[in-house]
Chain A
Amino acid sequence: MSDSHSSVAPTGPPDPRAIEEARKHVRTYLIVGVALLCGTLLTVWASLINFGSREINIALALLIASTKGFLVAGFFMHLISEKKMIYAVLSCTVFFFAALMYLTIISMSHGSIVQIR
């Protein structure tokens, strides 16, 4: 694909090191993309297999989803090389999300609720 010169920024062509960086990243993106597509097929296939207990299906689906999520977050969103400030914000978020989910569900699980007869 030929790029016309008029689309190059007025401040001059980008620094060749930046171009090489970007090219390396492109390879990574494509590999991750393929991995994500495989993961999708895998999770559908796994969901159709009967492992005996529902829990295994759930665990497997969440494992595959988490891996895919990690790939998107880590590589597409560049989290794997992000700054400390972003990590700090996200760690707090993850902790509070986990607290919301976990504490709410425990508070309302059948084992906890006081039966009033």
Chain B
Amino acid sequence: MEIPYAVKPRPDTGLYNAKLGIWLFLASEVMLFGALFSSYILLRVNAEEGTWPHHWLNIWLGMTNTIVLIVSSVTVVLGWASLKMGRFHRYKFYQGITLLCALVFLGIKSFEYRDKFMHYEVHLKDGRIADGHLQPGTTKEKVVLEGRYVASHADLMEGKVHHEKEPILEIPRDQIVSMENYGPWHNTYTAIYFTLTGLHALHVLGGAIVIFAIWGPLARVWELDPERYTNRIEVSGLFWHFVDLVWIFLFPVLYLL
């Protein structure tokens, strides 16, 4: 006996199996990201006054990524509609754009991550703090940053919305007490930022791989069983929209507020 309702919907529920399956899976993902968002709120609300940073992320890059994901969501659903209309090549075109958007998103994200790892907070022996991006002139004897000096750690909490060029600072290593980049370990804000966006990026990657697999190597299923193929596009599309949905909340929460 074959497994019923794998492609055709069951009359009383109106669903085919994979559709129910993906929604159940998405429900669990809501709880996963929900727990992380709850952690974010908790950590932020309980943070000491003046210790939660603001505008440490480039909102223009974030906005670009938001637009990229929205476009990819539109193309995913247009691709599905094309299949419903029997227009396979049009679907291929739209889904190709989706995959391109995924690559762009991940590329921008990688750039942002690298930027954070290059951004250092250097505590000097004379009590000053140097804060900026590591420059190529850095050697064993000195650290070269493009940044600024501040008097205290609290001055670093407010970031800038528009980034202009900053002066080059040359700091001899023997003047340095400690030096740490803006990785997850830097404070709880960077910790939750990297965790939330990292997990999200893994979902973007995973979704893109599945969409690619169905678009590329598994495309011949369209010839054998178009309804089954269209269902796969719908199911993977639902996952992709969820990934977009999470970002719609991630962007303002991490970048803007």
Contact = CB atoms under 8 A, between A and B. Distances in A.
Interface of A: 1, 3-4, 7-11, 13-14, 18-19, 21-23, 25-26, 29-30, 32-33, 36-37, 40-41, 43-44, 47-48, 54, 57-58, 61-62, 64-65, 68-69, 72-73, 76-77, 83, 85-86, 89-90, 92-94, 96-97, 100-101, 104-105, 108-110
The A interface is mostly helix, strand or loop, or mixed, namely: helix
Contacts of B242: 77
Given A89-B27, A93-B27, A100-B31, A64 B252 contact: yes
B93 A1 contact: yes
A101 B88 contact: no
Interface in B19-47: 20, 23-24, 27, 30-31, 34-35, 37-38, 41-42, 45-46
20 contacts: A1-B89, A1-B90, A3-B89, A9-B222, A9-B226, A11-B226, A22-B81, A29-B77, A30-B74, A36-B70, A41-B63, A44-B63, A54-B257, A69-B248, A72-B248, A89-B23, A92-B27, A93-B30, A93-B31, A100-B38
Given A26-B81, A36-B70, A61 B257 contact: yes
B86 interface: yes
A86 B87 CA distance: 29
A13 B86 contact: yes
Interface of B: 13-15, 20, 23-24, 27, 30-31, 34-35, 37-38, 41-42, 45-46, 59, 63, 66-67, 70-71, 73-74, 76-78, 81-82, 84-90, 93, 161, 222-223, 226, 237-238, 241-242, 244-245, 248-249, 251-253, 256-257
Contacts of A76: 73-74, 76-77, 237, 241, 244
B172 to A, nearest CB: 39
B20 A85 contact: yes
Contacts of B248: 36, 65, 68-69, 72
Closest 10 CB pairs of A and B: A9-B226, A7-B88, A47-B256, A33-B74, A61-B252, A97-B34, A93-B27, A22-B84, A101-B38, A14-B86
Contacts of B38: 100-101, 104-105
Given A9-B226, A97-B31, A105-B38, A83 B252 contact: no
Given A29-B81, A33-B73, A58 B257 contact: yes
B27 A90 contact: yes
